[in-house]
Amino acid sequence: MKHGFLKVACATPKIKVADCTYNVNEIIDIAARANEKKVKVLVFPELCITAYTCGDLFFSNVILDSAMKALKKYIEATRDYDMLSIVGLPMFYESKIYNCAAVVKGGELLGVVAKSNLPTYGEFYEGRYFVPCPEENLTFNYEGKKIPFGRNILFACSNMPLLRVGVEICEDIWVTTPPSNMLSNAGATLLANLSASNEVVAKDEYRRILVSSQSAKTVSAYIYANCGEGESTTDVVYSGHSIIAENGTIVSERIPFDYSNDKFIVADVDLEKISLERRRRNTVTTNADKNIVTVPFDFNIEKTDITRKIDAHPFVSNDKKALQKNIKSVRSIQAYGLKQRMEASGARKCVIGVSGGLDSALALLAVVDTFKIMGKSEKDIIAVTMPCFATTNRTRNNAQALAKALGVDFREIDIKDAVSAHLKSIGHDENVHNVVYENAQARERTQILMDIANGENALVIGTGDLSELALGFTTFNGDHISMYAVNSGIPKTLIPHILEQYAREYEDCGNLELGKTLRDIVDTPISPELIPAADGKIAQITEEIIGPYEIHDFYIFNMLSYQYSPEKLLRLAEIAFEGKYDDEMLKNCLKVFIKRFFSQQFKRSSLPDGPKVFGVGFSPRGDLKMPSDVCSDEWLRYLENN
């Protein structure tokens, strides 16, 4: 449970209708196996002790008494488990029968939640047997203790404050205002739903949407446990379709009629992520209902063995169709963002520095897309390559080939003499290859682009990407500056995939040479090319200086999205990159990331405009409000001391 991770499960026991003794033994067996896997919260289906499909047998004292005896047996059997269990059964209380969820922990019945919304339509007729949960919480006597009974109950972990459990039952989630809305507003971070949802064609997809959207809306982890084998099939069939979702994302699922697994599905939900998202979103209501009863319990705090997949490339979908769809969205955001800026500014042309690298290639292609949408000629796009001391033939040739294949106005301006004259004028030895030497080249290029733009009524298009902005790997008042930065929301790890898609599209249209050029650009080592080449080869490899961009993009996404601590970032990275990078490499990269991210904020404080693409952004006008002189020491100490 360290770092907010909690192992949860939802079970689908194979039952017999109206056989409480058989059913509870099945449930106890599942609980024992879940306990072995160190599950902390286990949710069973609706009325699982009796079966949901008992019909008029729910009126029988035999069923009602047997159900309570079975519950007692379950409570005793799980006494030594460090696990919160939620079990469904009918309960007779003050002359009425209720459809209930019993919450059990450490040999005690903590509370009972009754179903609020009873479906009595179509194939459902719960109103025949049960009454809705009373508006106000009540209590009933169980084994000499007063037990909370109702729907306004939260089960709060005393020594893990992030865990507050709310319970609702099946139909409760299908109504306009589910009880989970109120429970979430009162602070529930984990919601459990005991369900008996029968299967009809396409209902599984609707169920996925329902559960994931409720999880997103309530900013919670949502455990939906559905019944399956053994329920009566007289008129309907139950499939055991169960879902665990976390803030809108399904993290584990038993697909309908899949009974091949261990009768329960497991997921590691991240309560810290949920808490941080609630903290960030000021529209999430946290007003506790005065009628809420909070029932405390505690866990033995231990380090959860994380089994969930930690995505090493959070900006790049593993699903090919999803990736293509995302890339299409990225390109549209770039193109329509620039279109609006051109129309608003009255600019006729665009000027862009083309280096033969990834970023400038993507920016140029985005401008071409924009001009196609606007019906403008590619000749109004001015692509300028500016070779200097470190430019290699490979990048120079690729810049030229790319521009010519796209049919833009291509210009080559050699800046060696201009930079040499500048270095001489400030008394800098040209043989000293320090930051002055490097940045003089970058700033000369920006000056040229700005001057051309002034003469052509054009916008200078920025090429820097999200990853470079995070690390401050830009030259202040050099490539840091533009009139519209079309790449500013795009991470480095996604750009090769976008260029690959462009390459395929152009090749499909018969432009094989352009496809070939784009693929070579993708294969070229990432470099600012500001230090003279060695034997014609790139001497300055960015990822050898700051570490692999895929690691940094992982840290960017997880730190900026969820404000994870350095210790948690490192733990997740060790899982995500296991077998590829050793722990020392990941830790060193994290130190580099933290130091550069904080120390380079002054560059992001004066960023040019550019469109947000993902949930992470650095605009000082929108996403990132951080002082330029912030200190990183506390983050570095946290990494070393935890």
> Closest Cα to residue 169, out of 103, 76, 84?
103
Sorting pLDDT into bands at 50, 70 and 90, what band is 639?
confident
Q: Residue 600, Cα to own-chain centre: how many angstroms?
A: 25
* N-term to C-term CA, the chain: 15
Q: What is the pLDDT of residues 317-376, one digit of tens each?
A: 999 999 999 999 999 999 999 999 999 999 999 999 999 999 999 999 999 999 999 999
CA distance readout (Å), 549 to 324, 475, 552 = 21, 18, 5
pLDDT value at position 451? 97
Q: What is the pLDDT of residues 405-416, one digit of tens each?
A: 999 999 999 999
d(CA 377, CA 374): 9
pLDDT value at position 175? 94
Sorting pLDDT into bands at 50, 70 and 90, what band is 615?
confident
Catalytic entry in 7, 40, 46, 591:
46
Percent of the chain with pLDDT over 70: 98
Q: Where in the chain is the domain with CATH 3.60.110.10?
A: 2-297
pLDDT value at position 532? 84
Judged against a pLDDT cut of 80, whether residue 146 lies above it is answered with: yes
Phi then psi for residue 23, to 5 deg, are -65, -45
Catalytic entry in 7, 40, 105, 115:
115
Question: Any idea which of 295-309, 376-390, 507-521 has the lowest mean pLDDT?
Answer: 295-309
Catalytic entry in 54, 157, 170, 589:
170
> Closest Cα to residue 351, out of 484, 218, 238, 471?
484
pLDDT value at position 285? 67
Sorting pLDDT into bands at 50, 70 and 90, what band is 262?
confident
DSSP 487: T
d(CA 49, CA 148): 20
Our answer to whether residue 595 is catalytic in this structure is no
Our answer to whether residue 115 is catalytic in this structure is yes
Token pair recorded at residue 375? 């019906």
> 450 with 475: CB under 8 angstroms?
no
> Closest Cα to residue 123, out of 16, 239, 234?
234
Question: Any idea which of 45-49, 196-200, 255-259, 512-516 has the lowest mean pLDDT?
Answer: 255-259
Judged against a pLDDT cut of 90, whether residue 573 lies above it is answered with: yes
For helices 583-599 and 566-576, the axis angle rounded to 10 degrees is 140
d(CA 627, CA 556): 18
pLDDT value at position 413? 97
CATH number of 2-297: 3.60.110.10
pTM equals 0.88
Q: What is the pLDDT of residues 90-130, one digit of tens each?
A: 999 989 999 999 999 999 999 999 999 999 988 888 999 99
Judged against a pLDDT cut of 80, whether residue 287 lies above it is answered with: no
Which one is predicted more confidently, 529 or 58? 58
Q: Residue 534, Cα to own-chain centre: how many angstroms?
A: 42
Our answer to whether residue 416 is catalytic in this structure is no
Judged against a pLDDT cut of 70, whether residue 536 lies above it is answered with: no
Which one is predicted more confidently, 281 or 254? 254
Average pLDDT, the chain: 93
Q: What share of the chain is helix, strand, coil (3-state, %, to 5)?
A: 40, 20, 40
CATH number of 320-546: 3.40.50.620
Q: Where in the chain is the domain with CATH 3.40.50.620?
A: 320-546
Using DSSP's 3-state secondary structure scheme, residue 119 falls into coil
